[in-house]
Amino acid sequence: MSDSSRPLSPHLQVYKPQLTSMTSIFHRGTGVALSVGTLMLCAWILSVAAGPEAVDCFNAFAGSWFGQLLLLGWTFSVFYHLCNGVRHLFWDAGKGLDVDTAYKSGYAAIIVAAVLTVLAVIVALA
Amino acid sequence: MSLKSPIGRARGLGSAKDGLHHWWMQRISAVLLVPLSLWFVFSIACLVGSDYQTVVAWIAAPWVAVSLVIYFAALFYHSQLGVQVVIEDYVHGPAKKLISMYLMKLAHLVLAVAAIFAVVRIALA
């Protein structure tokens, strides 16, 4: 058996983007982003433990346009990773693996994540 | 290039023996994180604009403090399991892989201990 005859992974540059591949890549992307986001989470809880001055400092950053942008991105990432993760759990159980259901659940994950993000923003601004 | 067939090269090496454990722990922590993440994000959204004492009182409530410790433990555990796979996929070379894996796991341990220590300190203050 020669190595050259083995199937190649799709070349991303010439491979047509599909919902199924994009939701998969985005799952990993949001996962890594959320791992980095734990730094902000730690900064928050440690600032509360340190005292009111530290919290003021944290709030100044979190309240800046850059901080707000990060928080919005992480909020969507949490909900997307959560919804798409539930999709993966169903696949692990052998359910919803056909192409039609995989597309429907993909759209559902994106829509539910977007709705939850909007809800969280409304609660935060209320 | 070895003249051995791929199956010949793989035979006898055995599996890493912990692939299923990694997969299973990732699922167990994921299931735990579903309700905890929803609870955490919406609780924090509710706390936006609250004064310092309100935030401290919320964290210090026994059921909240316990939930936060479980949440942080599950979160950092799940996070390092996920980033481990990313490093395995994209970081090549045994030395680079070993060093980046070690630093990544160490960073997760430090952050997890710091976050949990902060919750305990606030709760017991």
B41 touches chain A (CB under 8 A): yes
Kindly state whether B110 is in contact with chain A, defined as any CB-CB distance less than 8 angstroms: no
ipTM score here? 0.89
Global pTM? 0.89
The lowest-confidence range among A4-8, A35-39, B91-95 is A4-8
CB burial of residue A68 (10 Å; 0-12, 13-18, 19+): middle
Contacting residues of A for B37, CB less than 8 Å apart = 78, 82
Vertex A53, ends A47 and A59: CA angle to 5°?
65
Structure tokens at A69: 């942008």
What CATH number should be reported for the domain whose range is B17-124? 1.20.1300.10
- Flag whether residue B95 sits within 8 Å of chain A, measured between CB atoms: no
Tokens 């481990």 belong to B84
Q: Which helix (H) or strand (E) holds A23?
A: helix A19-50
CA atoms of B113 and B74, how far apart (whole Å): 12
Q: What is the pLDDT of residue B71?
A: 98
The domains of chain A are located at 36-125
Contacts of A48 (CB under 8 A, 6+ apart): A54, A55, B52, B55, B56, B59, B118, B122
Question: CB-CB: which of B6, B56, B121 is closest to A1?
Answer: B6
CA B99 remoteness from chain centre: 18
Render pLDDT for B3-39 as a digit per residue (tens, 0 to 9): 888 878 777 776 666 778 999 999 999 999 999 999 9
For residue B14, the model assigns a pLDDT of 67
Looking at domain A36-125, its CATH architecture is Up-down Bundle (1.20)
The rounded Cα A71 to chain-centroid distance in angstroms is 12
Under 8 Å between Cβ of B67 and B36? yes
Instruction: Give me the residues of chain B with pLDDT under 50, please.
Output: none
pLDDT tens, position by position, A51-103: 999 999 999 999 999 999 999 999 999 999 999 999 999 999 999 999 999 99
The more confidently predicted of residues B54 and A6 is: B54
Contact A49 B79 (CB under 8 A): no
Instruction: Give the nearest chain B residue to A78 (CA atoms).
Output: B37
The pLDDT assigned to A3 comes to: 62
